[in-house]
């Protein structure tokens, strides 16, 4: 009976009494009406990509709505063939045996023996295989609920009503170009929620930034009004462990409001917002500056003063850059500021910066790190620098009164590019940039940005 109570508690039942099941079903029915779903035709939600946040997002939906199988089907796609190495298998076995609920679940599902064999080196586990049992390869220490895993992309997405993009921004375009081939015969248009944080830079014929939602639009042909971005101050493992968190879903009003209501949970509050551009660009920028934050923390032995100085300068650069891209961007406050704060404090990009500064990682190891996944801040540093370094989009330097590339007003971004991309300087250069006696008060950069003098519509293809 342990297994029965476990499943019931995940779905809002306690002591045989429904606590919030009726509310969840009502929210699901309301969203089904928005999609025009008929009786007996389930709403199909598919996650594409199984990193930490993508897996947790689908697991949250499965926990809440998975028991309503006649009304909703939830599944996740990941590529097949990724092997779990011996060290990870050994650690996974320790995690399983430290959690009685997980251990009982695996025994009940006749799935425990394979983890014993993998621990002994007698069997090879695969990432898609363990995900079915609730283990994300990038987040082994936080077991999730079991998930329906599909390794064939066409099978996963061809009839999906909602697609959740959990891919890194560097893989988003390629995968959605493939998906578009499977949607050619579709009558209805799917809704896409992108969790990706990163950008690309296109320098020809006119320099411009390309966000993940724009990549999806270009690759799939799905109209922008059906593509939304969800982001907020959250760490995937903490959210699944029911730490209180909030997020914003941004995009067209037609979909963002009903989806915000559907996604909201007691411990995960989702608001809606119409400013897709600022939130998505900030989602990429925070990863850029999080790497530097990690470096500063490691190099100064977690000095609160140094980290606060860095925070002041990097947020002023973020505000400056968003005002280049949007005429009236959302203020860096509330959830936007909190998202930046938590990413600089504890995200994987900050961890990466710390490991580089400590010498525990090297740039030669690449930006896809075992147990962490893709460090998206590295490619974002390159994209933002190359875009803002174009002389064709010059701005007037406020002190020198001459035209300069916008990146010249972003000394931290320049330093991160020199450390991570050209490798001209070691990690210690980030401290030299902060301690530059000629650096101006960050307030001046913010005032310049808010004067609207530097808004360049072409940077977003507008």
Active site (catalytic) residues: 286
Q: Length of the chain, please?
A: 462
Give Dmax over CA atoms of the chain in angstroms. Answer: 75
Q: How many CB atoms sit inside 10 A of residue 360's CB?
A: 10
Place of tokens 């599902």: 109
User: Could you tell me the end-to-end alpha-carbon distance of the chain, in angstroms, rounded to an integer?
Assistant: 60
Instruction: Determine the 3-state secondary structure of 150 from DSSP.
Output: strand
* Peptide bond between residue 106 and the one before it cis (omega within 30 degrees of 0): no
* Class of residue 181 by CB neighbours under 10 A (exposed 0-12, middle 13-18, buried 19+): exposed
Q: 177, 154, 158, 146: which is closest to 55 by C-alpha?
A: 146
Element (H, E) at 213: helix 212-220
The DSSP code sequence of 66-109 is TT-TTTEEEEEE--S--EEPHHHHHHHHHHHHH-HHHHHHHHHT
Query: How many Å apart are CA 199 and CA 175, to the nearest integer?
Result: 16
Query: How many Å apart are CA 241 and CA 227, to the nearest integer?
Result: 28
Residues 6+ apart with CB under 8 A from 438: none
Place of tokens 């980290």: 307
Query: How many Å apart are CA 215 and CA 234, to the nearest integer?
Result: 24
Query: How many Å apart are CA 449 and CA 57, to the nearest integer?
Result: 35
């Amino acid at each position: 009976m342990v297994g029965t109570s476990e499943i019931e508690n995940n779905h809002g039942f306690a002591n045989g009494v429904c606590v919030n099941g009726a509310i969840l079903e009502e929210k699901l029915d309301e969203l089904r009406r928005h999609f025009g779903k008929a009786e007996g035709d389930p709403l199909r939600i598919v996650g594409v990509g199984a990193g930490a946040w993508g897996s947790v997002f689908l697991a949250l939906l499965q926990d809440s709505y998975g028991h309503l199988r006649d009304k909703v089907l939830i599944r996740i796609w990941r590529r097949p063939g990724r092997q779990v190495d011996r060290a990870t298998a050994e650690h996974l076995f320790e995690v399983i045996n430290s959690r009685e609920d997980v251990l009982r679940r695996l025994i009940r599902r006749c799935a425990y023996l394979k983890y014993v064999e993998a621990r002994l080196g007698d069997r090879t586990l695969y990432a898609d295989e363990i995900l079915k049992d609730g283990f994300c390869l990038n987040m082994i220490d936080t077991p999730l609920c079991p998930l329906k895993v599909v390794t064939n992309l066409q099978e996963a997405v061809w009839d999906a009503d909602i697609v959740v993009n959990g891919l890194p921004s560097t893989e988003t375009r390629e995968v959605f170009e493939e998906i578009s081939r499977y949607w050619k015969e579709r009558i209805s248009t799917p809704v896409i929620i992108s969790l990706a944080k990163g950008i690309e830079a296109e320098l020809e014929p006119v320099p411009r930034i390309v966000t993940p939602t724009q990549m999806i639009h270009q690759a799939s042909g799905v109209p922008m009004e059906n593509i939304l971005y969800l982001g907020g101050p959250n760490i995937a493992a903490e959210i699944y462990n029911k730490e209180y968190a909030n997020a914003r879903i941004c995009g067209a009003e037609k979909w963002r409001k009903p989806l915000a209501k559907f996604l909201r949970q007691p411990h995960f509050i989702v608001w809606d917002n119409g400013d897709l551009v600022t939130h998505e660009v900030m989602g990429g920028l925070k990863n850029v500056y999080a790497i530097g934050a990690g470096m500063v923390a490691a190099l100064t032995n977690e000095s609160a003063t140094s980290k606060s100085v860095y925070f002041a300068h990097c947020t002023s650069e973020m505000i400056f850059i968003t005002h280049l891209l949007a005429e009236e961007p959302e203020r860096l406050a509330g959830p936007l500021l909190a998202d930046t704060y938590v990413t600089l404090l504890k995200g994987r990009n900050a961890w990466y910066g710390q490991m580089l500064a400590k010498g525990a990682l090297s740039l030669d190891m690449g930006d896809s790190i075992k147990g962490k996944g893709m460090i998206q801040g590295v490619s974002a540093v390159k994209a933002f620098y190359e875009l803002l370094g174009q002389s064709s989009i010059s701005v007037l330097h406020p002190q020198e009164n001459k035209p300069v590339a916008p990146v010249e007003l972003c000394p931290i971004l320049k330093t991160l590019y020199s450390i991570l991309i050209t490798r001209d300087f070691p990690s210690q250069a980030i401290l030299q940039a902060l301690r530059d006696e000629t650096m101006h008060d960050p307030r001046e950069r913010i005032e310049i940005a808010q004067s609207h003098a530097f808004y360049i519509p072409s940077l977003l293809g507008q």
